[in-house]
A = this chain, B = another copy of it.
Amino acid sequence: MKKINGGVTTPLGWMAAGVHCGIKRERLDLALIYSERPTMGAVTYTQNRMRAAPVEYMVARENNDIRAFVVNSGNANAITGQQGLEDARAMAELTAKALDLDPSEIGVSSTGVIGRYLPMDKISAGITKAAGELARGRKADHRAAQAILTTDKVIKEAAIQLKLKDGTTVTVAGMAKGSGMISPSMKVQHATTLSFITTDAVLTRPPEERWQEAIDKSFNVINVDGDQSTNDISAFMANGAAGGPPVDDDTQFWNAVTKVAQSLAKQVVTDGEGATKLIELKVTGAKDHADARRAGRWIISSSLVKTAVFGADPNFGRVLAALGNSGAAFNIDRVRLTIGTGGSTISLFERGRPQLAPCSEGEVQARKLLSQKRIVMTLDLGVGKGQAEAWGCDLSYEYVKINAEYTT
């Protein structure tokens, strides 16, 4: 299994395009992903009850075997009522017509400002244009990955190649977007930011369960601002073009899918609105895994923890106060909180006591660690064997600026 430089068209039989249709002033705003062959897959959606029209449309249709996905950015088609639903359906129908497919094989997704109707004339022209520009290769990957962005600063891609037992090489690749309104829910039929994972491996049955496991270890552990979107969607699509044995129960294959999803999720949180630092929190010693996840999510979502990290302040009290609010079980005499990894690990709190005196050498070191781009924290709750990761980012002036000054 090896990471490669690739995107959604790296697996065999996949094509993509990204065009400017005019929702945004200048940037690309409509993406198309297309498989030359029929696919099998799984799609997960937001748990927000205020679901956007394309999500409503997809959920009602109940087909997870998506051969082409059309995605626009700049307009979320959310809270747009009956008109929005008709527009989502029209997007599927226009795409089906352009690609000579059935509308049920088309996935539809939108992201951008909430509460405005889609400019369907522009979308329609954009779909025709994108269908004409479908291509393979890194340029097509990049244009598609670009066309789904909103306040994101960079595109997010990941790809892994692996050899199956019979020697067949298969590829798993993906693209994602997401910067604000990121707080995916833990429930089963849920989702995240937008993410699209393609592969040329062979599946023989719907992969819902395996896909959910991958999501639970990737997009479900990230949090930017605690606001779960109306539009989240994560799609996994396998077209079997590489041949070889089915991967339904191939652990190595699903590890690769998980790794691609994890890479994309970390890229999303690193590009979180205004983020200057990635926070990787590992919770150990919890009563069970669910309790570990609960503690991790509360801590990573706390505005006080996030601003402390932004300010490089080793304020362990805010982390423990957030733990107290999470409802997770802990034994304060056995709780241990460290930052850093390996030889440079610094203990902030253990055996019921703060470990760093104000203005001590240790505190200076801790501030140095907290000034880096990647902050690793480990919190042992001291009561059991439950573990979980939670990834977040700091809360900066820039977050306020992005969200106060722009309508997003």
Interface residues of A (CB under 8 A from B): 48-51, 76, 78-82, 113-116, 180-181, 183, 225-230, 301-304, 307-308, 310-311, 313, 315-318, 320-325, 327, 330, 332-333, 349, 352-354, 358, 395-397, 399-401, 403-405, 407-408
Contact = CB atoms under 8 A, between A and B. Distances in A.
A48 to B, nearest CB: 4
Nearest to A324: B50
Given A115-B316, A332-B79, A397-B401, A50 B321 contact: yes
22 contacts: A49-B325, A49-B327, A50-B320, A50-B324, A50-B325, A50-B332, A76-B317, A79-B316, A79-B332, A114-B317, A114-B320, A115-B317, A115-B320, A116-B358, A226-B226, A226-B301, A229-B321, A230-B324, A310-B404, A315-B408, A396-B400, A397-B397
Contact of A79 (B226, B229, B349): B349
Nearest to A185: B325
Count of chain copies: 2
Nearest to A83: B353
A320 B183 CA distance: 16
Contacts of A404: 307-308, 310-311, 313, 396
B315 A407 contact: yes
Interface centre among A78, A226, A308, A325 (most CB of B within 10 A): A325
A22 to B, nearest CB: 15
A287 to B, nearest CB: 13
A53 to B, nearest CB: 11
A180 B304 contact: yes
A193 to B, nearest CB: 14
Nearest to A49: B324
Interface centre among A48, A301, A399 (most CB of B within 10 A): A48
Given A320-B50, A405-B311, A226 B115 contact: no
